[in-house]
Amino acid sequence: MRVTARAKINWVLDITGQRPDGYHLMDMLMQPITLADTLHLTEADDIMLSVTAAPEIASDLLPPGESNLVWRAAALLKSYTGVNRGVHISLEKNIPMGAGLGGGSADAAAALVGLNRLWDLSLSPEVLASLALKLGADVPFFLSGRLSRVQGIGEDVRVVSKGPKWNAVIIQPCPGLSTREMFERFSESEGIARPDVESLEQILAQEDLSVLPIHPGNVLEIVSCALQPEIGQAAGFLVRNGAVCAQMSGSGSAVFGIFQSAKDAESAAQAARERWSTVCVCQTCDEALLLH
């Protein structure tokens, strides 16, 4: 079995509060993009994982063995169901690490969905979502597979629509940032403008590129740019090279730009590759996981 695990972008990322246990409460608009990893699943006696990475991926950052979210997803599913089966998962990485594109979370969701079928478990979407949240805040979103509003600590996922299919350029201008550090820096910041989530939700649902804001709103971008100015420089580069909008995804370090046409996107990507090594052209889409 083969599962395509697509990355995501954050159209909006707002932090609305913090629980007593330290978890931050979020309000986000997220959508899959066609940039993807691939998982190959075959029956085995135990859980085994092998990983290969595209040349531009910093493979030394890939969590090995049992610390990898894919392995943990398989182990969690096996423990929850008591199934006496194993799997060899071959993971092909194309989504940059530490980019805020949800690569690890997408892979974990793909493992849950793929193994639910491979092991004939017939678990409901609700059960899979509860298991997904144990693996990470972004994992439940990838089970929804479409443009979604995600709130709480990631458990409240509401599909908005299929979402627009627009041309995008992704740049990772610097190494990945610590998500924990970015949240801590945000907590210490004051006067950060809050995004208008409701308005952008309507714009995206109507697929109206003409009124898309230049910077839809990510409250972590200002603190990430303070630590890594190249993030802001990459977003500015995309706008100067024709992007309708550009901003950081997640807690960084990748930025995305949205373009009117595939030709415009490819032209901007070619220019970006003269400065940065991790640049890709893709599209926003309406399906996060594909089972083959």
Single-letter amino acid, residue 98: G
C-beta separation of 168 from 140 below 8 A? no
What's the sign of the alpha-carbon dihedral 19, 23, 24, 27?
Answer: negative
What is the CB-side half-sphere exposure of residue 155 using CA atoms within 13 A? Answer: 11
Residue at token pair 């979370």: 105
Single-letter amino acid, residue 112: L
CB neighbourhood size of 197 (10 A)? 20
Active site residue 165: no
Question: Annotated catalytic residue: which of 14, 138, 208, 264?
Answer: 138
What's the sign of the alpha-carbon dihedral 180, 181, 182, 186?
Answer: positive
Question: Annotated catalytic residue: which of 8, 37, 93, 264?
Answer: 8
Active site residue 93: no
How far apart, in whole angstroms, are the C-alpha atoms of residue 279 and residue 274? Answer: 10
Residues forming the active site: 8, 138
